[in-house]
Chains A and B, each alone.
Chain A
């Protein structure tokens, strides 16, 4: 019944000016999908195929290796420190930038984006030059027996640097679009600054914040170049998961290398799924623009 009604209501089939001929549609869709398949899907499929080449046993054995366990642990520790720090920074930066007017604002936004423009290798190098044995602070740190480079603090610093803008750049445009009216209303009704932030601002930005945090976390756990420069590759101590993949690969231990890589690929897939979920969610929540 419903089908019959909808068929009656269907407009007459006139080829609209904005429609391409069928053969063009098919050809373009085919080329686009073939390109994505070749460049994106094939590498992803290769990771899992290579990892399971010798079956499930050797695959899971790769995760029981003590070096693998310590690498995964270190990656988690680094993310647990770096992501919250950048989260707090992102919220503070977007509050200052979106809610207030001050001179030099657009310069500040550019400076926050700066780490994205810097090569990962250079992101590691700058800390070696600062804290390394031959760096500006190296001799002093050495005298006081503080290790930053080739140790966990250096890895954390480099990770914070490469993931620096993620949360801020997600929140700034969002908060700017939302304006200050709701916060003013809360203050007028007697709320203090913190209450206004927790009860009004935070619920308004929660999806944007979540979105920024997922991307920040994916990069923090997957960063390779910057961490590679500052880590020193000490097995069981300063090897993160991506560095562990590199070592296994260079030792021709391909099954283990791809097994650990498959774990990072799963993280990437979960990140993409969450990202689409948040995008769909925030679209449906979006208030239609006047």
Chain B
């Protein structure tokens, strides 16, 4: 039926073959395993599920994971805008290299980032040796989790804001200035509003990535239950104790949160596209 509908619009061959293959591959690799995970929780009773996803230790891990992810995404929204702004607007030597380097967190394996951050912020590390005497414990504290999540989320904001910033028309700024606006007023009232959708999208992407992050966090966080244990680590801990139902229940809560975020991100991107087109 799908094939029939398409034949009217496109004379190219291979529709059934490619779409059939895509559905098969998508089903086998993604949809069936994810579906099985949701089915697994259906075998639990409701009180057992609630117990598994809301014990004090699990709640503490949500607070840390969601809290640190939210703060990290906020830091990234501010500095990501700045990091996107500077190479677009200003000239300086090594600009191209700096711009390419922004994607490092995408390319660097998370375990490598994790051990590097742990080494830097440990008591004897490059930065840890200065912060520790000041009473700022970074490694093995929630602050360490925040540092790792900030590292991992930065490119999301830069790469969503940058193209919009490049496309801003200078005429608008010139008009604002000729009407007597100060540079700061121009930035607040003229430059920032068109950037909001992409800034929010970048914030949401960075937040979503931080929620699920594991590799870069576990080395620097210290993994103390109730204190520095993130939710993905708790899932692994439950699995290692053969508490499959408990691990799955927490995973389902995280999946629902992630899918809700994905929906929000899709809506934000649509809004963003409308703004740039209009």
Contact = CB atoms under 8 A, between A and B. Distances in A.
A238 interface: no
Nearest to A91: B18
Nearest to B16: A96
16 contacts: A17-B186, A21-B183, A96-B14, A100-B12, A101-B10, A102-B2, A108-B22, A111-B31, A118-B212, A119-B232, A193-B14, A225-B232, A228-B236, A268-B107, A271-B107, A276-B99
A273 B236 contact: no
Contacts of B186: 17
A261 interface: yes
A120 B232 contact: yes
Given A224-B109, A258-B115, 14 more contacts: A29-B90, A29-B92, A32-B79, A32-B83, A119-B254, A120-B212, A122-B251, A164-B29, A193-B13, A224-B111, A242-B112, A261-B109, A265-B112, A269-B107
Contact of B211 (A119, A267, A276): A119
A195 B113 CA distance: 45
Interface in A172-187: 180, 183-184, 187
A35 B30 contact: no
Interface stretch (A42-50, A54-62, A202-210): A42-50
Contacts of A229: 236, 239
B255 interface: yes
B48 interface: no
Contacts of B239: 125, 128, 229
Interface residues of B, number: 96
Interface in B74-93: 79, 82-83, 85-86, 89-90, 92
A272 B101 contact: yes
A99 B248 CA distance: 39
Contact of B36 (A117, A120, A126, A272): A126
Contacts of A135: 36
A126 B90 contact: no
Interface string A68-111: 00000000000000000000010011011001111100001011
Contacts of A113: 262
Contacts of B29: 157, 160-161, 164
B112 A119 contact: no
Contacts of B219: 246, 249
Closest 8 CB pairs between A and B?
A: A119-B212, A222-B109, A17-B177, A224-B215, A193-B13, A225-B214, A43-B116, A268-B107
B112 A47 contact: yes
Given A31-B82, A268-B109, A125 B115 contact: no
A257 B239 CA distance: 26
Contact of A193 (B12, B31, B85, B177): B12
Contacts of A215: 106-107
Residue of B92, B150, B214 with highest tally of chain A CB at under 10 A: B214
Contacts of A140: none
Residue of A193, A215, A229 with highest tally of chain B CB at under 10 A: A229
B133 interface: no
Contacts of B161: none
A223 interface: yes
A166 B174 CA distance: 40
B11 A223 contact: no
A254 B205 CA distance: 33
B100 A275 contact: yes
Contacts of A108: 22, 26
Chain B, interface SS category: helix
Contact of A100 (B15, B183, B213, B258): B15
Contact of A125 (B14, B18, B37, B102): B37
A179 to B, nearest CB: 11
Contacts of A196: 12
Interface string B253-273: 011001101100010000000
Interface stretch (B55-63, B119-127, B135-143): B119-127
Nearest to A193: B13
A121 B37 contact: no
B278 interface: no
A200 to B, nearest CB: 11
Contact of B18 (A36, A95, A261, A264): A95
Contact of A129 (B9, B111, B117, B244): B244
Nearest to B31: A111
B181 to A, nearest CB: 9
A265 B108 CA distance: 6
Given A42-B127, A117-B259, A126 B10 contact: no
Nearest to A279: B100
A101 B6 contact: yes
A254 to B, nearest CB: 8
